[in-house]
Amino acid sequence: MATPFQGNVTHAEAAPGSAAGPVIRTIGLSDLHRALQLGWEDFKAVPSHAIILCLIYPVLGLVLARLVHGYSVLPLLFPLAAGFALLGPFAALGLYEMSRRRENGQPASAWDAMDVFQSPSFGAMLGLGTLLLALFVVWIMTAQAVYTAAFGYEIAANIPDFATRILTTSQGWWLIIVGCGVGFLFALVALCVSVVSFPIMLDRHASAGEAMVTSLRAVAKNPLPMAVWGLIVTVLLVAGSLPFFLGLAIVIPLLGHATWHLYRQVIEPELNPQPLPPRPPREKRPAADFPANLFPWRRKGG
């Protein structure tokens, strides 16, 4: 089983228990490799559960691609693939929970991953997830605007025609440079506010504001490792999107588990963690009640 708090950590930022918030460690590039290695071990330990949990993610990509089909889907395929980096931290909530449970020696399955919905900080997670979704939508709109500025509203006839436009014309190279530059800014914002935000909300039940501040501090403390981490995430997500987003069934679990272990590398553990009230026992419900059993407030109201 993967063990937490391993890696070539050099020193912490402040004394534990200070009023400055969670203590940020300084990490190196080897710690990124360690996080990926531990993430892969988690994925191998619960592969079927992780894949089932993440099947919704590539389906989401296909649905989004279909929705924009009327506006020429080809120019937006790459922005959609790259934009997964914006939504990934929220989409991997269940994966963080599985890694946390394995770390504590508890059972880890797809059903256990649903415990994130019972977390006291799930409202904060949902709020930050909504912010990332808004950022994703703005990115897609911006990418469409950049393409329109380069080629107007003329739709490419087919994939070879689209590739010729992009790779052999001055407008195409302008689109590549400007699009990648703008996309980098969006990815940078998402990385800074979310690199450890969701794991710390799950682990310590921090508020969304506290989590984002901690994430910003972590990036400021480790600019080079975090930049390399962002590059790793982007490359793997784009590679996993080919073909037809199917590779995300492996990439997303790997990155989700690895993000949890990156959080463990970056944030100093609490010396005196606050005890949390025990969660109520999970009620067994017949399969015939699905999907109504996902909404407990509906059951209480009859």
Q: Which of 215, 67, 190 is nearest to 207 (CA)?
A: 215
Residue 12 lies in a domain: no
Residue 219 lies in a domain: yes
pLDDT in the model for residue 49: 56
Q: Which of 224, 221, 232, 220 is nearest to 259 (CA)?
A: 232
Residue 43 lies in a domain: yes
Number of domains in the chain: 1
Residue 3 lies in a domain: no
The continuous run of DSSP H or E covering 43 comes out as helix 29-45
pLDDT in the model for residue 18: 46
pLDDT digits (tens, 9 = 90+) for 192-205: 999 999 999 999 99
Write out the DSSP string of 83-141.
HHHHHHHHHTHHHHHHHHHHHTT----HHHHGGGGG-TTHHHHHHHHHHHHHHHHHHHH
Residue 10 lies in a domain: no
Residue 9 lies in a domain: no
Domain that holds residue 169: 29-270
Q: How confident is the model at residue 108 (pLDDT cuts 50, 70, 90)?
A: confident
pLDDT digits (tens, 9 = 90+) for 9-57: 444 444 444 455 789 999 999 999 999 999 999 988 887 555 655 565 6
- Could you count the other beta carbons within 10 Å of the beta carbon of residue 235? 12
Residue 249 lies in a domain: yes
pLDDT digits (tens, 9 = 90+) for 123-165: 999 999 999 999 999 998 999 899 889 888 777 766 777 888 8
Residue 287 lies in a domain: no
Q: Which of 193, 260, 191, 265 is nearest to 28 (CA)?
A: 265
Locate 151 and state its tokens: 């080629």
pLDDT in the model for residue 200: 95
